[in-house]
Amino acid sequence: MIRAAASEISEYDRVSTTRIEPVTLAGPAVTDLMHLLAELVENAATFAPAETPVRVSGEHLADGYRITVTDVGPGMTDDDLATAAEVMSRPEPPAGGTWWGLWATGRFAARQGIGVTLANGFDGGLVAEVLVPAHLIGHLSTDNDTTLDDLEPVIG
Q: Domains in the chain, please, with CATH?
A: 2-142 (3.30.565.10)
Side chain identity at residue 118, one-letter code: L
Please compute the mean of the pLDDT values over residues 137-155 and round it to a whole number. Answer: 52
Residue 20: partners with Cβ closer than 8 Å, 6 or more residues away: 2, 56, 57, 58
What percent of the chain has a predicted confidence (pLDDT) above 70?
88
d(CA 66, CA 133) in angstroms, rounded, equals: 9
pLDDT digits (tens, 9 = 90+) for 25-67: 998 899 999 999 999 999 999 999 999 999 999 999 999 999 9
CA dist 54 and 90 (Å) reads 27
Cβ burial 93-128 (10 Å sphere, 16+ → b, else e):
eeeeeebebbbbbbbbbbebebebebebeeeebbbb
**Amino acid, res. 106:** G
pLDDT score at 104: 97
Distance CA 16, CA 69 (A): 10
